[in-house]
Amino acid sequence: MESLSYLAIIWGSVFAATFLSARTRLTPVLYFLAVGAVLVNTGILPVEGDPFIRGFADIGIIVIMFALGFEENSSHFVRALKRSWGIAFFGGIVPFFAAYMLADYFWNDVNISLICGLAMISTAVSLTMVSLKSEGLQTSPVARGIMTSAVIEDIASLVLVAIMIPVATGQAALSASGIGLIAGKTVLFFALITVLGLWIFPHKMPDRTWRIPLLGHYGIRDVLSFGGGEQTTLILLLIALLTGILAHEFGFHPAVGAYMAGLIFKEDYFHFLRNPDGDHYQNTKKIIDSVAFSWIGPVFFVNLGTKILFDWDIFVSVIPHVILMTLGLIVAQVSSSALAAYYTGSFKRVESLMIGFGMLGRAELAFVVMDIAYVQHDILSTEAFYTLMFTAFWLNVCVPLSIRFWKPYLLAEQQALTERTGP
């Protein structure tokens, strides 16, 4: 019963964190981490994590990453790729090297520097989209530019995590042959995912000249429609888990597989009901989101927050690191994303800066990298872990504040454009 008591405490704290998040319009992840830290430092949760809670947290991150992939539209992603590739590339590579060089200056450890760089690549698109929505900008070209760039960044980040984590953990040597082996495994894994997405899952293939028993005539839609769609959520979560296990067998984190599994599902796979109860895809997505972001997924972040054991000496010692890392990443992220948006994406200057501000956030994938490096493999030092945690916190705080600050300039530019060109 003790494990269930811990779960009840965590769920109660998740509710409180969600309430505070709604009031302050900051990402709930920050509050989940904070309540985890409060609970463990006040002795309410044990310092040595409960095995049941740890297992529950592992399921949580798999479901979270599947949900993030599931909500992305791969067709929109491909169409917007041409305009957003530069934002994703330069907006990812520059912060990576900024975090890497600062970490190398602080701790002079290649593995720690590598992890810091990986953790600071991907953008917290959910935080940015919520912030844009609160300002009425969620359907603007800026929002589409940020969303597409963030998706590209997430995929690139997952590939880099898949390749570099085994190197940092010592599971593969930092040599041409070692890196080649990891790269080969990465290509093979993503090739298998591509085969699933392009040839196995689709119900009907144009010009399908080959026939495999069963697969030649059936697709994933036939599986999802079993029992009138009542088992759809179970099937999706099973596929997410199996793909996560497959990723683990290739030496990657299960979250990598879960995200890719979500990405290859298409909305038309769910159009098998003429139903009376509404859009089956949207209904399923609501269930997946509820599982991922309301009651299972948050346990991962609360559990990660319990690793923040308050130590005044450590807290004081990392203040200079946090200040330099935060300021360095703000400059690197905003400048690289804005310049790329202007020169490669043909956005206006004001729009480009808004994109730069919107790319500041760090959320789910950053904390997955921290969990792998600090909790699972002990790569990060305590000081580095605290530095990354507090840096992510301040970067996320900057997102809604900078978007609100820059909104009048964006609207003024749009108004001026309308006056010049007419309605």
* AA letter at 33: L
* Packing angle of the helix pair 141-168, 110-119 (nearest 10 deg): 160
Q: Give the residue from 293, 278, 311 showing the smallest Cα distance to 386.
A: 311
d(CA 397, CA 399): 6
Q: What is the pLDDT along the chain (423 residues), one digit of tens a residue?
A: 788 999 999 999 999 998 988 887 676 777 888 898 899 999 999 988 788 998 898 898 888 878 877 876 666 556 666 777 888 889 889 999 999 999 999 999 988 998 999 889 877 766 676 677 667 776 677 877 887 787 677 667 767 777 777 777 666 555 566 567 767 777 788 788 878 877 777 766 544 444 455 555 667 777 887 777 788 888 999 999 999 898 888 867 787 788 788 888 877 788 766 554 557 788 888 889 888 888 898 898 888 788 777 888 888 999 999 999 999 999 999 999 999 999 988 888 899 999 999 899 886 678 878 888 887 788 889 999 999 988 988 888 888 788 888 988 888 887 776 666 655
Domains of the chain: 2-421 (1.20.1530.20)
209 burial via Cβ count (<10 Å: 0-12, 13-18, 19+): exposed
Q: What is the DSSP string of 48-83?
A: S--HHHHHHHHHHHHHHHHHHHHTS-HHHHHHTHHH
Q: Helix 81-107 to helix 382-421 angle, to the nearest 10 degrees?
A: 150
Find the length of the chain. Answer: 423
Decide: residue 382, CB within 10 A, 0-12 exposed, 13-18 middle, 19+ buried.
Answer: middle
Supply the pLDDT for residue 75: 62
pLDDT value of residue 264: 83
Closest CA to 243 of 208, 283, 275, 195: 195
pLDDT the model gives residue 208? 47
CA dihedral 94, 97, 101, 104 (to 10 degrees): 150
For the chain, helix, strand, coil in percent to 5 are 75, 0, 25
3-state secondary structure 26-55: CCHHHHHHHHHHHHHHCCCCCCCCCHHHHH
Number of Cβ within 10 Å of residue 160's Cβ equals 19
Distance, in Å, from the CA atom of 7 to the CA atom of 27, rounded to the nearest integer, reads 22
Nearest to 392 by CA among 26, 18, 14, 148: 26
Q: What is the pLDDT of residue 371?
A: 83
- What digits encode the pLDDT tens for the residues 299-337? 988 887 887 778 888 889 999 999 999 999 999 999 999
36 within 8 A of 306, measured Cβ to Cβ: yes
- Cβ–Cβ < 8 Å for 64, 299: no
| pLDDT on residue 242 | 92
d(CA 419, CA 423): 7
**What local confidence, expressed as pLDDT, does residue 214 receive?**
52
Q: End-to-end alpha-carbon separation of the chain, Å?
A: 65
DSSP 245-311: HHHHHTTS-HHHHHHHHHHT--GGGGTT---TT--HHHHHHHHHHHIIIIISHHHHHHHHHTT----
Note if the pTM is more than 0.85. no
The 3-state DSSP class for residue 213 equals coil
**Contacts of 247-251 spanning 24+ positions with Cβ under 8 A:** 247/162, 247/189, 250/162, 250/185, 250/186, 250/188, 250/189, 251/162, 251/166, 251/171, 251/172, 251/182, 251/185
- The 8-class DSSP code of residue 1 comes to -
CB 401 within 8 A of CB 357: no
